[in-house]
Amino acid sequence: MTVLVTRREKFNAGHRLFNPAFTDEHNLEVFGKCSNPSGHGHNYVLEVTVAGEVDPETGYVMDLGILSDVINKQIIQDVDHRNLNIDVEWMRGKIPTAEVMADTFWDRLEEHLPAGLLYRVVVRETDKNWAERRRVL
Ligand code: NI
C-alpha cells in the first residue's frame, strides 16, 4: 500500500516577472503588474509530498524531520528573504513564476531524497494561485 506524506514549509521572497528578451512594453502585456521593475514579494508556502510503502519497523514512509532538513538545506535557506531574480544562484536566468519554482525545487529535492520517493512539489504563491510538479504513481 502506497501512502503519501507531506511536509509544509513557508518562506518570504521577492520577485519580478519579466523576460529580458522582451521589450518593457511586451513584458507589461505578458506579465502585467508582476513585471513592475520594483518587484514585489510573496509569503510562499512550499509543500513536499513523498509517496511510498510504510516501513513496518518505524511506521514511517520517511522521517519528516529528515525531509524537513532536506527542504531547508536545498531550498528555504537559499530563498527566504531573498530576491529570486538576483540573490539565488540556482534561480538565475529563470523567470521566477510558481511553475518554474516548483519545477526547479523538484530537481533540487529529488537529488537529496531516497530514490523514487518524491511525489509532489507544490508552490503556493497566494491563496488563489499555485503550481505543482508531480510524478505519476
Ligand atoms: Ni508575484
**Mean pLDDT across the stretch 65-88?**
98
**Mean pLDDT across the stretch 89-117?**
97
Helix (H, G, I), strand (E, B) or coil at 38: coil
- Does residue 25 have an active-site annotation? no
Binning pLDDT at 50, 70 and 90, where does residue 10 land?
A: very high
On whether the CB atoms of residues 100 and 44 are closer than 8 A, the answer is no
- Does residue 99 have an active-site annotation? no
Exposed, middle or buried by CB within 10 Å (0-12, 13-18, 19+), for 65? exposed
- Does residue 34 have an active-site annotation? yes
pLDDT at 3 exceeding the cut of 80: yes
Q: Which of 86, 75, 83 is nearest to 110 (CA)?
A: 75
Q: Which pLDDT does position 137 carry in this prediction?
A: 56
**Mean pLDDT across the stretch 64-70?**
97
Report how far ligand 1's centroid is from the alpha carbon of 126 (Å). Answer: 9
Check which CATH number belongs to the domain holding 50 and give it. Answer: 3.30.479.10
**Mean pLDDT across the stretch 86-115?**
97
pLDDT at 1 exceeding the cut of 80: yes
Domain count for the chain:
1
Report how far ligand 1's centroid is from the alpha carbon of 59 (Å). Answer: 39
Phi, psi values for residue 20, rounded to 5°: -60, -15
**Long-range Cβ pairs for the range 85-94 (8 Å, 24+):** 85/14, 85/15, 85/16, 85/39
- The parent domain of residue 106 ranges over 2-134
Q: What is the pLDDT of residues 16-44, one digit of tens each?
A: 999 999 999 999 999 998 999 899 999 99
Residue that has been written with the C-alpha cell 503588474 in this structure: 33
